Structure 1
Amino acid sequence: MKAHVYVTLKQTVLDPQGQAIHGALKKMQYQGIEDVRQGKYFVIRLSDALDAAAATAEVERIAKEVLTNPVIEEFSFHLEDAD
């Protein structure tokens, strides 16, 4: 099983890198781009011995305790069967 974890800055936190990318896209004349927020992406391969509930609990724990700074970041994730 694999977990795909997305960590982004909270909407209330300024994102200077996202703003810089947004500005560059506008200068390059890309159309319809209203906002850009940057973040981090993790792929975690989990043991096949874990069921979906245990995997969910473990990924949530990892994301809260290791992958994010809860003051300024939030996360989301989804699980998928390994290839």
Structure 2
Amino acid sequence: MRARVTVTLKQGVLDPQGKAIQGALKGLGFDGVNAARQGKVIDLDLAETDPERARAEVTRMCETLLANTVIESYAIDLV
């Protein structure tokens, strides 16, 4: 089973990389971008075949290592 974890900064947390992306896009002529937020995507290939257990295992991974839950949110998609 595959899992895709998307980690993003929580609302209200400053995102200097997002600001840099927004500024670079504006410099390239993309004036319609009002804001940009940067995040990360982690794809996992799991041995687990049961979706419930796989989600629980990936949640533990996120809480332990993959996301800093003080400032980041995460979403898990099983595929």
Question: Do both proteins adopt the same fold according to a TM-score greater than 0.5, normalized to the shorter chain?
Answer: yes
Question: Deviation of residue 61 (structure 1)?
Answer: 0.9
> How does the TM-score come out when normalised to structure 1?
0.88
Question: Deviation of residue 32 (structure 1)?
Answer: 2.7
Q: Are 1:6 and 2:35 an aligned pair?
A: no
In structure 1, list runs of 5 or more residues that go unmatched: none
Cross-structure match for 2:55: 56
Question: Deviation of residue 65 (structure 1)?
Answer: 1.1
Distance in 1 (CA, whole Å) between partners of 2:4 and 2:32 is 28
The count of residues paired between Structure 1 and Structure 2 equals 79
Structure 2 residue identity aligned to 1:63:
C
**What secondary structure sits across from 2:29 in the alignment?**
coil
Question: Deviation of residue 31 (structure 1)?
Answer: 4.3
Between 1:31-40 and 1:9-18, the stretch displaced more is 31-40
Instruction: Indicate the RMSD between aligned Cα atoms, in angstroms.
Output: 1.1
Question: Deviation of residue 30 (structure 1)?
Answer: 1.4
Identity of aligned residues (%): 48
Q: Are 1:16 and 2:16 an aligned pair?
A: yes
Cα deviations by residue, 1:29-54 (Å, 9 ceiling, x for unpaired): 1143221111111011011x430100
The ranges of structure 1 where at least 4 consecutive aligned residues each deviate by more than 6 angstroms after the TM superposition are none
In structure 2, list runs of 5 or more residues that go unmatched: none
